[in-house]
Amino acid sequence: MTTSLSRDLIFLIMQFLDEEKFKETVHILQQESGMFFSAKHFEDLILCGKWEEVEQYLSGFTKVDDNRYSMKIFFEIRKQKYLEALDKLDRTKALDILTKDLKVFSSFNEDLFKEITQLLTLDNFRENDQLSTYRDAKTARSIMLIELKKLIEANPLLCDKLQFPNIKSSRLRMLINQSLNWQHSLCPNPRQNPDIKTLMVDHSCRNSTDPYTQLAANNQLMISAQKTEGFIPVSANGSFQPASTSVQVPLNVWVTTPSNMNHQLVSGGVGLGGQSNPTAVSKGLLGSDMSMARVSAVSDRIIIPGMNPSQNGFQFNMTEELPKTVARTLNQGSVTTSMDFHPVQQTLLLAGTNIGDISLWEVSSREKLASRNFQVWDIGASSMALKAALIKDPSVSVRRILWSPDGSLFVVAFFPSRSWISKHMLQLYTYFGGNDVRHHLEIDSHVGSVNDLAFCNPSKQLSVITCGDDKTIKVWDVGTGVKLYTFEGHEAAVHSVCPHYKENVHFFFSTSVDGKIKAWLYDMMGSRVDYHAPGRSCATMAYSADGKRLFSCGTTKEGESHMVEWNENEGTVKRTYQGFYKRYLGVVQFDTAKNRFLAAGDDYSIKFWDMENCILLLTVDAEGGLPASPRIRFNKEGSLLAVSANENKIKILATVDGLRLMRTYETHSHIAPRPPPSDAPAMNGDSKKSEDTRAKSTEEVNPVRAGQLTEISTPAQFRALKLSARFQTDRIGRLIYTNSGNALLALAFNAIHLLWKWPQNDLNLSGKATTKITPQLVQPASGILMTNHLIEGNSVETVPCFALSKNDSYIMSASGGKISLFNMMSFKKMITFMSPPPVATYLAFHPQDNNIIAIGMDDSTVYIYNVRLDEVKSKLKGHSKKVTGLAFSHLLNILVSSGADAQIIVWDLNNWERKNGCFLQTAAGRTPTARSDTQIQFQQDQTHLLAVNSTQLAIYDVRKLECIKQLAIGESSARITHGIFSCDSQLVCTSFMDGTVRIFSSSNLQLQCQISPTAYLASDVSPTVHPLAVAAHPQEPNQFAIGLTDGSVYVFEPIESEGKWDVVPQPQRIESGSASTIAPQSAVSDQPKPQPQG
């Protein structure tokens, strides 16, 4: 098993062989090392029909029975070889291939093997219906390659080996030259022009005693050293310590002198190519034996290892991206044991304590929005062991608290305050916004404490995975509380779980207190991997935010902490991070941020590392007052860091972006939580008795504030940015932000896509969309535009629609013709499918499987299409007119569709059958429209749905399919063109045909802000120009974008000093006509339950 440095060396040798034109040799090395799969070489072999070489090359990376993808690859190759032999009428060879190569597949699919065998009896195998379109070998090989590429990219044994590392040209020669320069600098009598004839022995100059020659040689090497990169000594038998130096420094000084090293940065977001990594130092200055002084009295102590205060450079730029400024201090009231930031509203913090309390904080305003004490919700349903334990001693602590991926739920795991108490409680809460926190489920989960938990989707439904002192791991259905799986195999208490998935293969890691690490699939076949954590430490594992890198951090019984990065493919430690305090009795906590940084609470401080560098990057003591190993938690963007502190406090550390984020929320009133239906019973005994019965401090739940309507009619009242395009564009039909929030994608009615991307620079450190920086219109050097297929001569107006994959890599799109799949990086059209009729009118990716897509059609049907298999899994019928909206709820496991027939239908994801349906209600006194294109979107809680058409906004509780709020527009008022939730679901941004943009509170559909077209459109613009599409930023709740009928796109934000679109106004009467007089209060009503339609 190769080490990290050995792997690098093999890649360098491959590069060298390729540059030296040793083509065959480099392919042999690829095959024998199994480290890089050359898709181009593989393709060339197939197109040339060199089948023996094809299999020989492929066998270096995978075998037939490794997995289903490998099996399919080998089968397709051998089947093509078989067909070509039959086509040449070489039946002897065909029979040999059948018996030797294809026979192995008979045990997996006997019917298929029999069908292949029968081809030998045909004079022409094209007589078989499935092979009737077979033309010739050359064409068949090309078609087969398309399928093979998909299989290779999906194969977990091959997908990570398709990209050759980004290495500077002639890198191996450069390293050798650096080594020779270094050897030459150590010569006692260096010559000015050394004659180096061999690499087999170390270089040494002899017979040179001229002082002038020595000086000249040294000067020459100094200049040379400035042009080369830092040297990393490699130990053949152990780990290495990064260090570098200018070659003229004597050896005894070099060992203890820090200097800068250049390495290319690796980042999950927008990169800063060409910059250097943090300063590295040798073990002599900051080695593993170093023990830092524990100074807590010094304000804001910041230590940058290996850097003097007078030094400048990229080191400081990198540390500026770390949260090190104490921005807020919260008084929790008891010792904090676990924290988690909301995944969308990134200034909301959950905290659990050592006395079982949980609190919900808005950190920007220091408000405690909600607080709960530990209490068993249904003591009668609890086990006898739990009842006995509660009677004996009711004390309990929070072990872990965690938000669900969308922030609509959170779960709390408890553990006993005394080791002899057997408590095993898990509680799930539903979050409806503001201070509305309600009981959802209570589960007796483990015998002994619940040590860790996480959310997962092993069977395309949201679940929670838990582990405990009883040495088991269990998986629970979040909707019902039913236990789905139980995993056994650990010999000690299970300490943590880390679920993940790749290519739709779901798995998880688990660690135990005896230092064991196991990996599991959800197939109940036992653990697939079993090895020890470094130092046999009690460890926690976590992936980087992009899911590409795996880390663990733990502490041994002797108090030594180990934080490492793992090579998943090999099960080896790829990198070990240095700088921990040597003796600690607890378990160090760690977290990751920005796909770039690691942080851990250690030695009364917070320590930061760059993921690419083993050496400690930065130490911050947060103005002192931290415990020996503080609890830490980043928010999703890494701009805020919550840190547990002494005296029952929580400190919030922030970056520049984090400070800006908190300013945005600080004056933003929390929208009142959505009221429950009048007949809704209390859940699980959720009543005032379950609230905190102690006297509330002034920091606990504060009332909601109210304000006045904001009317914006001039550009000075808000921030608007018009995005420029280099060519004339048509009306903008669809608009969406990328999930990363750094780009905006539009689809015009002429089938052309426009992508604007914001740069990451000193004025925009996060690289996110903002009105302060003008984005760049992205267009590849090839000049290719992402253009959809159009039907020539089609008199019917096109219906633009698209759906973006979760990782922003692919977009599915249609404009009245075939559906196209584009690569967002290259703009390349990868595939087209589904020729009309019918015409696609709406697209939506399945929330758990990007290969499944729901397609609304103009013939009123909904297709459930599997992209990988190129087949329609199901065709849903229920609408009477074209489908205009689709929305998935992974929490409820449903698909909701809406149509031009004003109908909403709910479909079950398990069998794709209709569950319920209703028609949008027409407000009293309102004339029904003949056609009503209805758009839908789920609220953040995944149970409430926004429905928008030209005459109304409505909020539905999908669980009962009842309308709970409705806003109707007056008969003579401008029609609605589009409406969408903000990312936190607190606001609804709506565009109108008169050019007005209105922002409503989602809790009561009252108008908060009204933007007149005079505020953003020039005076010479036609009065008929108006918005057709609205998009909401995925992380900034007050940022929206609109696409207009003249092809322009605008981004809107409130002015920075306000950071909000104001708050709920006083009720006003809706009047028809003037846009400035429209207020929704009189048209908003609590709706009776509609009559279900089947």
Please write down the HEC assignment for all residues of 618-635: EEECCCCCCCCCCCEEEC
Provide the pLDDT for residue 269.
32
**CA quadruple 377, 383, 387, 390: dihedral, nearest 10:** -70
Cis amide prior to 838 (ω within 30 degrees): yes
For residues 418-441, give the mean pLDDT. Answer: 77
CA atoms within 13 A on the CB side of 790: 15
Higher pLDDT, 414 or 902: 902
Angle at 642 between CA 640 and CA 644, to 5 degrees: 160
**Residue 377: DSSP 8-state:** S
Query: Regarding predicted confidence, which is higher, 580 or 1051?
Result: 1051
Read off the pLDDT band of 1074 (50, 70, 90).
very low
The pLDDT of residue 754 is 93
- The token pair that represents 759 in the structure block: 């740069």
Averaged pLDDT, 359-363: 94
- The pLDDT value recorded for residue 235 is 30
Output the pLDDT for position 1080: 37
Choose between 794 and 424: higher pLDDT: 424
Residue in this structure with the two tokens 């379109």, named with its chain if needed: 133
pLDDT of residue 294: 32
Report the distance separating Cα 259 and Cα 255, nearest Å: 11
Q: Is 643's pLDDT higher than 60?
A: yes
Out of 6-10, 83-87, 88-92, 1056-1060, pick the least confident.
Answer: 1056-1060
- pLDDT of 454 above 70: yes
Quick one: which of 30, 29, 146 has its CA closest to 833?
146
Structure tokens at 191: 């010559």
pLDDT, tens digit, for every residue of 786-837?
999 888 766 556 789 999 988 888 899 999 999 999 988 888 888 899 888 8
| pLDDT tens by residue, 466-494 | 999 899 999 999 988 899 999 999 999 99
Confidence of residue 926 (pLDDT cuts 50, 70, 90): low
Q: What is the pLDDT of residue 553?
A: 94
C-beta atoms surrounding 27 within 10 Å: 22
In degrees, rounded to 5, the angle at the alpha carbon of residue 477 between the alpha carbons of residues 471 and 479 is 145
> For residue 696, what pLDDT is reported?
33
Average pLDDT, the chain: 79
Model confidence at 503, in pLDDT bands (50, 70, 90)?
confident
Phi, psi of 400 (to 5 degrees): -150, 140
Look at residue 1017 in the predicted model and tell me its pLDDT. 92
What's the confidence (pLDDT) of residue 498?
A: 95
Q: Which residues contact 343 (CB under 8 A, 6 or more apart)?
A: 403, 404, 405, 406, 407, 636
pLDDT at position 876, please? Answer: 95
Higher-confidence position of 997 and 1071: 997
pLDDT band at 290 (very low <50, low <70, confident <90, very high): very low
Task: Give the pLDDT confidence of 1-12 residue by residue, as tens digits.
Answer: 346 788 889 999
Is the bond preceding residue 405 a cis peptide, omega within 30 degrees?
no
Which residues have CB under 8 Å from 829's CB, separation 6+? 786, 820, 821, 822
Residue-wise DSSP of 992-1018 = ETTS-EEEEETTT--EEEEE-GGGTS-
Percent of the chain past pLDDT 90, that is, above it, reads 44
Q: Which residue has the higher pLDDT, 575 or 228?
A: 575
**pLDDT band (50, 70, 90) for residue 282:** very low
pLDDT band at 444 (very low <50, low <70, confident <90, very high): confident
Nearest Cα residue to 974 out of 949, 947, 946, 951: 951
pLDDT at residue number 216: 37
Mean pLDDT, residues 556-562 taken together: 88
Q: What are the tens digits of pLDDT across the range 578-620?
A: 998 876 567 788 999 988 899 999 989 999 999 999 999 999 9
pLDDT at 47: 92
Q: Residues 444, 449, 450, CA angle at the centre, nearest 5°?
A: 70
Backbone angles phi, psi at 579, to 5 degrees: 120, 10
